[in-house]
Structure 1
């Protein structure tokens, strides 16, 4: 009975937090109808109406607001207690739900899995690869790794590395062309341009150099892709110049499959960070994964590899 009451309260708290049975359902792995039923059972048990329901909105009643104030803190304390107990024979255990960008995850994080699983055999990675920023709380992720995730209330970020965008092309593409000496000359080259998956617009880059000079980079748009890994591969096949984030360019610059144009120039792209819920006590599986990734980035010197300056 006690566990059933906790489940009912959790449905209530998530519905109140997001103003939606549907979002609460996604977080809990239930259907919206099941969440609605949980709320109805809780209301019947308490003899109170907790929500005003309409086709467009879900709002707390006065009684619902008071109940929210009374149960939020005790429930969070219980969650923290459960989180601290997520171990098996003293070792972190359970499913670890992580959001990763497609190519970045494959190139830099999948290779770390062997060591991680050897250290923590009771943890089951449940990794989701997507180039779109996720809603960490609404979608129930333990951790997200990438950039551009909005720091909404309840989310914290731990920076792993600063990243820059550079201009690159294949040796074959440049074999019949003169190397540019200034970004203003890029208009003479075919460009593989990126469309933003979030805004739908073509990405424009302002390049700068160590002297503080800035220049808007423009090329002849030849191909439009929405995936940086595909852009890197098209560039290697000689289809044109590409504006590539350093994580996507670094392996191919090292192998010689791509050459960097305008080596003194780069564009800012922000940070790669670990994002996770701001809780007093993280589940043990989440805490050890965060520390493992931070240490791996330090050991592999990824921050230096992603820095184009």
Structure 2
């Protein structure tokens, strides 16, 4: 009978195509994971992976074996996680990812109350505006918008992700206000450059009536970070197209105003992403429930809506 550690090392290595990524997720060394897989291969008498400097690739036998044991391993671990949850308080290091400004503005302020409620959990935050691979990166959860839901991942929606056009009153003073996105071509802008393609991100805005139109501006300056867009707009360099969480406090204070208030871009939802609920550790479940509860109590979904 194979040990659970051998099977788990195989399944997690297959999911991430890497012994190192599997080791981070299992809190083992890459050498230990490799030994577990090698022992499993010896016991079965078949090679499960083709190994190369570029990573791991399942053999035909490995693919068949993964299809057979993967679901069973999830069931066993789910039962273990359930017993652990019931046996005591959530505990351990909780590795999390979030966009920099959103995380600092809306998630970090929740941590004192979270830590007070779950003193045995140690949040380990990583701030990055790019999408991360939860499994390869060894993350327990991530917060963001527009993430691709890969197999084995689920999401808990927190708030809408709406992009709006903003500017300072000083910048707009003396200028005729635009009536449609096409009129924005007469305005300088601080534009956002994609960290992936290097191109300026194009925004298609939608009117409350349902009509859509491309927002074209005179690009005065480009940056690759939304915080930098905000700073440039506040310095009266031009208009900016930013997500509501990045500007809602400035809109409420009057430091910024919405341009084209009946138009916005809908990018879906800001969500908490985590691995399959069957395998959800108590610490991750605690975070998901706590953050969802706090967003609801603070009315952040309504506050972030541009509709």
User: TM-score scaled to structure 2, two decimals?
Assistant: 0.89
Residues 198-277 of structure 1 mapped to structure 2, 5 A cutoff: 198-277=196-275
CA contact (8 A) 1:157 1:273 kept: yes
CA deviation digits over 1:91-129, x for unaligned, max 9?
211111111111111111111111111111111101111
Deviates more, 1:111-120 or 1:86-95: 86-95
What is residue 290 of structure 1 aligned with on the other side?
A: 288
Aligned residues, how many?
305
Q: 2:8 aligns to what SS in structure 1?
A: helix
Residues 56-205 of structure 1 mapped to structure 2, 5 A cutoff: 58-60=57-59, 62=61, 64=62, 68=66, 71-86=69-84, 90-205=88-203
Is there any run of 5+ residues in structure 2 with no aligned partner, and where?
none
Instruction: Please give the root-mean-square deviation of Cα atoms over the aligned residues, in Å.
Output: 2.6
CA contact (8 A) 2:41 2:48 kept: no
User: TM-score scaled to structure 1, two decimals?
Assistant: 0.88
Once residues 194 and 122 of structure 1 are traced to their aligned partners in structure 2, the CA distance between those partners, rounded to angstroms, is 40
Structure 1 segments of 4+ aligned residues over 6 angstroms from their partners: none
CA deviation digits over 1:252-278, x for unaligned, max 9?
111221111111121212110111111
CA deviation digits over 1:231-272, x for unaligned, max 9?
111101111100111111101111221111111121212110
Deviates more, 1:256-265 or 1:81-90: 81-90
Deviates more, 1:150-159 or 1:34-43: 34-43
Counterpart check, 1:53 vs 2:50: yes
CA deviation digits over 1:190-240, x for unaligned, max 9?
111111223332111122222233321111111111111111111011111
Deviation at 1:53, TM superposition (A): 2.4
CA contact (8 A) 2:94 2:283 kept: yes
Once residues 175 and 74 of structure 1 are traced to their aligned partners in structure 2, the CA distance between those partners, rounded to angstroms, is 65
Deviates more, 1:87-96 or 1:264-273: 87-96
